[in-house]
Structure 1
Amino acid sequence: MLLHYLDLSWRSFKRTPLVSMLMVLAIAIGIGVTMTSLSVYHMMSADPIPAKSSQLYAVQLQTMDEGHTWWTDDNLPMQLTYQDAVNLQNAAVPEKKVAMMRTGFSVYLDSDKVKPFTGEARMTTPDFFNMFDVSFIYGSVWSEQQEQSAAPVVVISKELNDKLFAGENSIGKLVYLDDDSYQVVGVIANWPLNLKYYDLNNGAFNQPEDLFLPFSLVKTKELTSWGNSNGWKHENINSYEDRLQSEIVWIQFWAQLDTPEQKTAYGNYLTAYIEEQKKRGRFSREKPEYNLRDVNQWLQYNNVVSEDNKILVGLSFMFLAVCLANILGLLLAKFLRRAPEVGVRRALGASKRQVFLQHLVEVAMLGCFGGLVGIVLAQLGLWAVRQSYDYYSSIATMDITMLLSAPVIAITTCIVAGLYPAWLVCKTNPAIYLKSQ
């Protein structure tokens, strides 16, 4: 019976091609606009590392004196001071943790084949790659000994390796960063990261860095942060060492806590650490304050998905509703014009249910066609977003979930819009139209 209904629907389309095309176009425009905003929102709010998001925690410490406030909801700085980051990094617990910051260098080779360019770099500790599931195609991360000795080594991205070394195995080769040479010890594979969740200070949707170096080089090379640096008290900073010992917060710190017990134990350690620092004249607040937020909590805390994005999705669905309202009028005109034909069918034995289902199949087919065309329009919309906003380039795309959702939304909304016209036409009184034939 379904095949029969599909055949009748196709015949109906061919009888009224202009009206049918108008309805498909209206659905497609509504779906195109809706799926463009919904796809961006979906990629924004997606879990960036679902296998480990509940095990990775951003660490916050309340370093300010009593009476001082921060602009966050819970009054906690979002980064750590250098001295706190180093102290926590050198602690015995937890097993995996990472201190890091963003900086940059002038990158070049001892060759005239590649012009010098500016490259973004992440100063980090060895656990970074394991914690954030970064894989290698050549070599590996630097050793703990190289970290402690501030060895001039670097891990580079596949993209940078292609640019500098034509994609060859570059382990052991030298890259010049500013005035110093660094030995390549690893090349990471392409890192499909929609959200730069490990560092939200300079844009959640920026691309990962191409250079990764030992965190210990920060002090040795007196590197400047390319991220946010914030302070809460007046301090005389006349040297780089003064900055390292200051209360300026500019270091990101993450810990991997695999079980609730590990999280509780680490919380107890942070409380003890704050108490120890209080004895040294820091952390003057009466009650020790810290926070551990997992990946998804951290994204929510930093308002990665803002209210504006949610409002935009709501407005796009309202636009879809307007398109469907127009379709409703066209369906009413089309179906009621068919009333004499339906009257004859009813007289020949077709039930109201069969007539109703036939028309629902027709509107579902309309929705399917509109959804497929809408996917094409949505792809054009996402392309326009990528061209207009570089930082949305990684999220202005449709994954398989959104590709499947587009026709489902189109068919569902069309069926909803077609319920009333289908119900109205199935109530046709056969006697009226038989007399007029």
Structure 2
Amino acid sequence: MLLHYLDLSWRSFKRTPLVSFLMVLAIAIGIGVTMTSLSVYHMMSADPIPHKSSQLFSVQLQIMDDGHTWWTDDNLPMQLTYQDATNLYRANTEGKRLSMLRSGFSVYTDSDTVKPFSKSARMTTPEFFEMFQLEFLYGNKWSQQQEENAAPVVVISEELNERLFAGENSVGKIIYLDNESYEVIGVTKSWPLVVKYYDLNNGVFNEPESMFLPFSLVEAREFGNWGNTNGWKHEDVRSFKAKLQSEMVWVQFWVELNDAQQKQEYENFLMAYMEEQQKHGRFNRKELTYSLRDVNQWMQYNKVVSEDNKILVALSFMFLAVCLANILGLLLAKFLRRAPEVGVRRALGASKRQVFLQHLVEVAMLGCFGGLVGIVLAQLGLWGVRQSYDYYSAIATMDFTMLLSAPVIAITTCIVAGLYPAWLVCKTNPTIYLKSQ
């Protein structure tokens, strides 16, 4: 019976090609606009590391004295001071943890074919690769001993390896960062991140860094940071050592806690740490406060998906509703025009249910065609977003879920729009049209 309904629907399209084309076009435009905004929203809000996002926590400490405030909603700095990050990393606690910050260098090799260029780098501890699950193409990360000794080693990305060494195994080779030489000990595979969730302070949609170096090099070689540095009080910081000992926040700190018990134990440790620091003249507050937020909570806290994005999605669905309202009028005109034909079918034994289902199949086919064309229009819209906003290049795309959602939304909304016209035509009284025939 379904095949018969599909055949009747196709015949109906061919009898009224102009009206059918206008309805398909209206649906396609509505779906194209909706899926463009919905795809961007979907990629922004998707869990970037779903199998362990609930185990990775960003650490925040309320370091300010009473009477001082921060610009965040909960009055907590988004990063840590260097001394707090170092103390927390060296503490004997359960679970992996890491300190990191963003930096950068001028990169070149001994080869005359590669001109020097500037690249961002991540100064971090060796736990970074396992915690955030970077896979290696060649080599491996540096050891804990190399971290403690501030060894001049570097892990580079697959893209940088391609640029410097034509994709060959570069482990053991030397590259120069600014005026210092570093040994390549590993090459990571491409990391297709949509949202740079591990560092939302320095470009939410920026590409991951191309180089990774031991965090201990920051102090050993007095490396500056390419990220945000903020303070809450006036300090006489005239040397790099003074910056390390200051109350300025510029280091990100993450921990991996596998269950609720580990999280509770770490929370107890953070409170004990702050109380201990208070005895040394820091954290002069009546109420000590900290925060542990997992990946998704951290993204919400940093408003990765802004209210503007949500409003844009709502407006696109409203535009789709306007398109469907126009389709509703065309469906009413088309279906009621064929009332004599329906009257004859009813007289020959077709039930109201059969007539109703036949017309629903027709509007579903209409939605399917409109959804497929809408995907093409959405791809054009996403291409325009990528051309207009470079930092949206990773999120202005449709994944498999969105590709499936487009025809589903189109078919569902068309069926909803076609319910009233189909119900109206199935109530046709066959006797009226038999007399006229």
Q: Same fold (TM over 0.5)?
A: yes
- Which residue in the other structure is 2:170 paired with? 170
- Which residue in the other structure is 1:284 paired with? 284
- Which residue in the other structure is 1:379 paired with? 379
Cα pair 2:95 2:258 within 8 Å, conserved = no
Secondary structure of the equivalent of 1:54? coil
Any idea what the Cα deviations from partners look like across 1:327-370, whole Å, max 9, x if unmatched? 01111111111011111111111111111110000000000000
Secondary structure of the equivalent of 1:167? coil
Between the aligned partners of 1:10 and 1:431, the Cα distance in structure 2 is 27
Q: Which amino acid aligns with 2:384?
A: A
Between the aligned partners of 2:175 and 2:93, the Cα distance in structure 1 is 34
Between the aligned partners of 2:109 and 2:388, the Cα distance in structure 1 is 33
Aligned Cα root-mean-square deviation (Å): 0.7
Q: Which amino acid aligns with 2:97?
A: K
**What aligned pairs does 1:192-231 form with structure 2 within 5 A after superposition?**
192-231=192-231
Between the aligned partners of 1:268 and 1:425, the Cα distance in structure 2 is 69
- Which residue in the other structure is 2:412 paired with? 412
Count of aligned pairs: 437
Between the aligned partners of 1:53 and 1:111, the Cα distance in structure 2 is 42
- 1:342 and 2:339 correspond: no
Secondary structure of the equivalent of 1:200? coil
Identity %: 78
**TM-score for the superposition, normalised by structure 1:** 0.99
Between the aligned partners of 2:418 and 2:261, the Cα distance in structure 1 is 55
After TM superposition, give the deviation of residue 71 of structure 1 in Å.
1.1
**What aligned pairs does 1:30-69 form with structure 2 within 5 A after superposition?**
30-69=30-69
- 1:256 and 2:256 correspond: yes
Q: Which amino acid aligns with 1:355?
A: V
- Which residue in the other structure is 2:14 paired with? 14
- Which residue in the other structure is 1:352 paired with? 352
- 1:272 and 2:256 correspond: no
After TM superposition, give the deviation of residue 95 of structure 1 in Å.
3.4
After TM superposition, give the deviation of residue 94 of structure 1 in Å.
3.1
Between the aligned partners of 1:21 and 1:174, the Cα distance in structure 2 is 63
After TM superposition, give the deviation of residue 287 of structure 1 in Å.
2.1
After TM superposition, give the deviation of residue 25 of structure 1 in Å.
0.7
After TM superposition, give the deviation of residue 320 of structure 1 in Å.
0.3
Uncovered stretches (5+) of structure 2, i.e. residues with no partner:
none
- Which residue in the other structure is 1:145 paired with? 145
Any idea what the Cα deviations from partners look like across 1:162-199, whole Å, max 9, x if unmatched? 11001000000011110011100000011121110000
Cα pair 2:95 2:262 within 8 Å, conserved = no
Any idea what the Cα deviations from partners look like across 1:401-427, whole Å, max 9, x if unmatched? 111111000000000000111111111
Cα pair 1:94 1:255 within 8 Å, conserved = no
Secondary structure of the equivalent of 2:231? coil
Q: Which amino acid aligns with 2:342?
A: V
Secondary structure of the equivalent of 2:273? helix
Between the aligned partners of 2:202 and 2:124, the Cα distance in structure 1 is 17
Between the aligned partners of 2:150 and 2:172, the Cα distance in structure 1 is 17
**What aligned pairs does 1:125-144 form with structure 2 within 5 A after superposition?**
125-144=125-144
**TM-score for the superposition, normalised by structure 2:** 0.99
Between the aligned partners of 1:113 and 1:89, the Cα distance in structure 2 is 41
Q: Which amino acid aligns with 1:171?
A: V
Q: Which amino acid aligns with 1:23?
A: M
Secondary structure of the equivalent of 1:92? coil
